[in-house]
Amino acid sequence: MKRTMRAAALGLAAWTMAGPALALDLTKKRANLPDLVLGNEEGNDFVVENREIELESGKAYRLRIVAKGRQEYKFYATEFFRNIWFNQIVIQHLEIHGSGPPDHLEFDDPGEIAIEFVTIKSGEYPWSVHGLESKGMTGKFIVK
């Protein structure tokens, strides 16, 4: 019994240490998702394009979150961010790498933020633009 538990613990440790390396290999085969667009250029700051996005667990993706409206958009997807592995966040061709998820993404002006990630856990994860939920600035990520 002790030998089996020791082997399982060593296997888990090896898999954990290889996890980021495996995820990096996955990101080379990432799929580009449709842009999640907040607002539009016609003056409707509260319209949302691609409110619900479906993904598969264990796959790599790139998502561009694009602000076209003139509002300050504070994009929260807390549970989703906690249940994905971030490869990078890209803003104007500048990359941000880190070991933990961001609290939220904020747009003070029109622009885009791209996130590259691997989904880890299936589930439905809501997102919202803080303070603008009543205007319809909500949606969800569905990871199957």
pLDDT at 107 over 90: yes
**Mean per-residue pLDDT, 109-134:** 96
In one letter, which amino acid is 37? V
More confident residue, 116 or 16: 116
- With pLDDT > 70 as the criterion, what percentage of the chain qualifies? 81
More confident residue, 112 or 20: 112
- Read off the pLDDT band of 26 (50, 70, 90): low
pLDDT tens, residue by residue, 94-104: 899 988 889 99
**Mean per-residue pLDDT, 114-139:** 96
Q: Can you give the pLDDT at residue 103?
A: 92
pLDDT at 119 over 50: yes
For residue 25, the number of C-alpha atoms closer than 13 Å in the C-beta half-sphere is 5
Laid out side by side, the sheet with 123-129 consists of: 52-55, 138-143, 123-129, 73-76, 105-107
**Surface-to-core class of residue 64, CB atoms within 10 Å of its CB (0-12 exposed, 13-18 middle, 19+ buried):** middle
Q: Can you give the pLDDT at residue 100?
A: 84
Nearest to 62 by CA among 93, 28, 39: 28
Q: Can you give the pLDDT at residue 11?
A: 46
Q: Can you give the pLDDT at residue 24?
A: 53
Report the C-alpha gap between 98 and 103 in whole angstroms. Answer: 13
